[in-house]
Amino acid sequence: MQDEAVDSSDSMNVPDIVLQSSSPKLSQKQDYVFHGGRRHVRPYYFEFIAHVNKRWTGKTIVDLFADEFKGRPRDYYVGAVKSGRIKVDGETVPASYIVKSSQKITHFLHRHEPPVMTDDVEILLKEPDVVTVCKPASIPVHPCGQYRKNTVVGILDAEHDLGPLFPIHRLDRLVSGLLIIARTAAKADFFRQQIEGGLVKKRYIAKVIGVFPEDEKVVDANINYNGSEGRSTAEDASSSGDDKKVKGKPACTKFTRIDTNGTHSLVLCEPVTGRTHQIRVHLQYTGHPIANDPLYLTQHVDDLETKIAKRIDAGERKLVSPEDYMYSSEDFSIDPMCTNCPKLIPQGYEEHDEALWLHCVRYSGTGWEYECPYFPYIAIFLDKKL
């Protein structure tokens, strides 16, 4: 990323501040630190930009941040406003300043990203207008939430100088497998039209609890996503009474058992629609949730399964606790106002990530088809004795 120098002031007490500005180059190889089996990002300065919406209007600038962005204490926001790290329409304002509709608010901060697993983002196919990769679990597809450089798009930019990129479909962060990325806006639009037209067929494999039915099973159940909880629920429209309104959006998934050992089953999943967590919640709906899914394991599952869903396989990943990481001045500089420093990992990060046993293997449409190897993922599922 091309860096934009920003004048530092005595009130910030931080010399040589460098802002990571918007640029076609998202990441560089030197942005990453590898430690304890994880890929970390060196903390960097970043400026968030927002405009005052209806809900924010009439609040003081400090109340706005304290109410809407609870990841930092109120005292931090008071200090950030006084020091000019938080500005309104480019101007420093008092902590009691009341914001007005549509005003531009900027927040300049020392940004720490959560770590991800160190698995490589393997390029499967590279064409002039398309690149396909095998996405490892734990890595988001594109910048979102706390993640920016620690994303598939960011890593491809840093390690393969690929950018700008246009992901044409999304995989949940903990899901692995095929990811198709357009390299031009025109190609992205080509894929978008086929997806919106229902012309794209998708295949995933999942390891689920119990003996899944031998015959193909089709689940037609609406998906209702709750953003505040970060999870979906399923409701069968045909089973609702005439006076009951069915929540959510129509969704359909086809399931076919590949194998079973009497305790777990390997299942082929073919979603007809593309709702949030559709495969995961439809498998839960069948009574056979993904065997290590912390969100959708049903209540009757033995406590051991829940523990499996939350643990790290030490022999497989050999990960260490974030507390084992010792700060090194060679890795990054301490910002005295930062609420995360001197730790590398941001506060509130859930330290244990495990690959969800759900893997995308194929996408196909009119005139095209892309695949991701089933192995070693089926082998991993089998090695865990299904």
Nearest to 373 by CA among 129, 127, 128, 132: 132
b vs e for 284-303, b when ≥16 Cβ sit within 10 Å of the residue's Cβ? bbbebbbbbbbbbbeeebee
Strands (E), 261-355: 264-271
CB 135 within 8 A of CB 372: no
76 sits in which H/E element: helix 74-83
**Which candidate in 63, 172, 259, 331 is catalytic?**
172
Active site annotation includes 157: no
Residue with tokens 């860096």: 3
CA dihedral 316, 120, 311, 71 (to 10 degrees): 150
CA distance 26 to 20: 9
CA distance 343 to 335: 11
Nearest to 371 by CA among 144, 180, 235, 161: 180
159 sits in which H/E element: helix 152-160
Measured in whole angstroms, the distance separating CA 298 from the mean position of its chain's CA atoms is 23
SS3 380: helix
Angstrom distances, CA of residue 332 to CA of 111, 138, 143, 386: 11, 23, 21, 43
Alpha-helical (H) ranges within 168-229 are 185-196
Residues labelled catalytic: 172
